[in-house]
Each structure stands twice: as structure tokens, then as C-alpha cells.
Amino acid sequence: MPEYKSKSYSHIIKIVLILIIVAVAGVYVRAKVLPGSFGEFGHYRGDAVKDEINRPLRNGTNASCLVCHPYIREMHLKGVHHTVSCEFCHGPVADHVKDGKVIARLPKKQGRDIKILCLRCHNQIIRARPKESIKMISMPQHLKEKHVRTDHICNQCHNVHAPLMWVKQARAMVGVEEDSK
Ligand code: HEC
Ligand code: HEC
Ligand code: HEC
Ligand code: HEC
């Protein structure tokens, strides 16, 4: 078979030209599109750090609530829920207070919604939660054990802000000592 060798290189030149155009266009578009602060600290927009810092705070600590709610403060700090965040159950302070003034009401769960709220932390079904750090119950067994109707909701026996307060008071009233379990 006779060896055939083309003397025409025009197709190769076309490809090289196209590649050069694509590369130049790429460099141009990249320069146009990339934000100025890109790469300042790493492979991201440097100004993103400033944006995050300047984002208005939405959440506060429990101290930010307790100044205005002395009645709840009394119960909450003495009760077993003193480590639990007010905002977990009521939402962020920013939706309620601005510059020291009340601007809107925070949601306050009622009825069956309270049960759902409590069980987000106390449901035995959540296997990953260490039993030593948080007491878990399963429903409706819990209510059966307490010999009540299973349509009872948690805050009929547990003060939501100090869950054992009423239980202890009831015990003291009928003269039952701690832990009759
Ligand atoms: C600047 C004072 C102030 C701060 C800070 C404050 N509150 Fe209040 N809060 C009030 C006042 C006043 C009311 C009563 C408003 C009303 O009844 O319209 C109220 C009402 C409430 C209510 C009841 C709403 C209702 O529908 O009955 C809840 C729940 C509540 N606050 C939770 C919180 C939580 C949680 C925080 C912290 C994240 C907080 N508050 C911080 C002043 C404050
Ligand atoms: C475990 C969830 C939970 C936590 C934590 C919690 N609350 Fe509540 N709170 C509720 C529920 C549910 C209600 C409404 C039902 C009730 O009072 O029994 C309520 C009611 C209130 C009310 C209205 C009281 C009234 O008499 O109408 C205020 C004010 C309030 N909470 C403030 C706070 C503050 C301040 C904190 C933090 C110190 C806090 N709560 C922590 C669940 C919670
Ligand atoms: C954000 C998580 C969270 C939510 C929501 C929550 N709890 Fe708790 N609860 C805790 C923690 C943490 C403790 C302290 C550790 C413990 O004793 O289990 C506690 C303790 C308790 C205890 C005392 C357990 C014991 O014998 O020591 C009771 C009862 C209780 N909670 C009831 C409730 C009820 C009722 C609700 C709903 C109003 C509720 N909890 C919502 C986290 C939560
Ligand atoms: C009929 C009253 C009643 C109702 C309703 C009730 N509980 Fe209880 N609960 C109790 C009593 C009483 C105890 C025992 C407290 C003790 O031993 O100190 C208890 C203990 C607990 C404990 C601690 C369990 C442990 O292992 O020590 C948790 C958590 C709890 N309840 C959560 C809830 C939740 C969440 C709800 C709603 C879904 C609820 N309870 C409804 C009466 C009630």
C-alpha cells in the first residue's frame, strides 16, 4: 500500500486558531465575570467574609430574653430546662425586639403543637441522643405509666419552663418523698 502524506496543514491551523480564540475569550470572560476580591484569601470571594460579618444578628442568648421576662426568669433558671434555649421554642429575638423595643409577638405553641415541640428533644425514637444527657420517653407509654388519658398534653403536668416544678409541688403536697419510681 502506498504511503499517503498530506501536504495540506490548513485543517490543523484551523483547530489551533479556534483553540487560541477559545483560550483568549476564556481569559477575557473570566476577568470580566470574577468578582474583584476573588482569591484574596483562597478559592472564594474575599468580600464574602465582610458580608457575613455585617449580616444583622438574629439570635441572642437566654440573657437577651430574661431582662424583660422576670416571671419566666424565676422559673427557668431554677428548673431543669435552664440550659435549654428560649429561642428553640419561641424563635429568634430579632423577630420580637428591635433596639430594645417590642416590634412583634413571638410564636407561643399551644395544644398538640406543644407535644410535637417537646418530643423533638425527648422522643425515645431518636436513637442517636445520649440517654445520660437527656431523658427520653416514648408516647403513649409515658402517659399510660402516669395513669392518664393519652390525649393529655405535656404542659398539663409539666411547666414548659421548669418541667419538674409542678411534679415536685404535687409530691410535696401529698407528702411523697423524691423518687418513688
Ligand atoms: C425589650 C423587652 C423584651 C425582650 C428583650 C424580650 N421580650 Fe418577650 N415580650 C416582651 C413584652 C413587653 C411582651 C408582651 C407583648 C404583648 O403581649 O403584646 C412579650 C411577650 C412575649 C411572649 C408572649 C407572646 C404571646 O403571644 O403571648 C413570648 C413567648 C416572648 N415574649 C418570648 C420572648 C423571648 C423568647 C425572648 C428572647 C429571645 C424575649 N421574649 C425577649 C418584652 C420583651
Ligand atoms: C421547651 C420549650 C420552651 C422553652 C425552652 C421556653 N419556652 Fe416559653 N413557652 C413555651 C410554650 C409551649 C409556651 C405556651 C404554653 C405554656 O405557657 O404552657 C410558652 C410561653 C411563654 C410565654 C408566655 C407566658 C404567658 O403567660 O402567656 C413567655 C413570655 C415565654 N414563654 C418566654 C420564654 C423565655 C423568656 C424563655 C427562656 C428563658 C422561654 N420562654 C423558654 C415553650 C418554651
Ligand atoms: C431543645 C431541647 C428540649 C426541648 C424542646 C424540651 N426539652 Fe425537656 N429537657 C431538655 C434538657 C437538655 C433537659 C435536662 C436534661 C434532662 O434532665 O433530661 C430536659 C429536662 C426535662 C425534664 C426533666 C427530666 C428529668 O427527670 O430530669 C422534663 C420532665 C422535660 N424536660 C419535659 C419537657 C417538656 C414537657 C417539653 C415541652 C414543653 C420539653 N421538655 C422540651 C431539653 C429539651
Ligand atoms: C399526667 C401528667 C403527665 C403528662 C401529661 C406528661 N408527663 Fe412527663 N412526667 C410526668 C411525671 C409525674 C414524671 C416523673 C417525674 C419525676 O419522676 O421526677 C414525668 C417524667 C417525664 C420525663 C423524665 C423521664 C425520666 O426518664 O425520668 C420526661 C422527659 C417527660 N416526662 C416528658 C414529657 C413529655 C414530652 C410529655 C408530653 C408528650 C409529658 N412528659 C407528659 C407526668 C406527665
Mutate which of 76, 86, 109 for ligand 2 pocket (most atoms within 8 A of beta carbon): 86
CA angle centred on 124, ends 119 and 128, rounded to 5°? 105
Distance CA 114, CA 153 (A): 7
pLDDT > 80? residue 149: no
Cβ distance 109 to 89 under 8 Å? yes
Percent of the chain residues topping a pLDDT of 90? 71
Angle value at C-alpha 172, between 171 and 174, nearest 5 degrees: 65
Residue 54 has pLDDT above 80, yes or no: yes
Q: Whose CA is nearest to atom 6 of ligand 4?
A: 154
pLDDT band at 74; cut points 50, 70, 90:
very high
CA of 170 to the centre of ligand 1 (A): 29
Q: Is the CB of 144 under 6 A from ligand 4?
A: no
The minimum-distance atom of ligand 1 relative to the CA of 93 is 38
User: Alpha-carbon distance 41 to 47, whole Å?
Assistant: 10
User: How is residue 172 written as a grid cell?
Assistant: 410535696
Mean pLDDT confidence for 47-62: 94
Task: Please write the tens of the pLDDT for every residue from 27-48.
Answer: 999 999 999 899 999 999 999 9
- Give 63 or 2, the one with higher predicted confidence: 63
Pocket probe mutation, ligand 2, options 59, 81, 93, 108, max atoms within 8 Å of Cβ? 108
Residue 31, pLDDT score: 92
* Ligand 2 atom index nearest CA of 121: 1
pLDDT of res. 181: 45
Q: Give mean pLDDT, residues 84-89.
A: 96
Least confident of 5-9, 53-57, 177-181: 177-181
Say if residue 68's pLDDT is above 50. Answer: yes
Neighbours of 94 (CB within 10 A): 15
CA 127 centroid distance within chain: 19
**Residue to mutate, 64, 69, 108, ligand 1, most ligand atoms under 8 Å from C-beta:** 69
For residue 95, pLDDT over 70 is answered with: yes
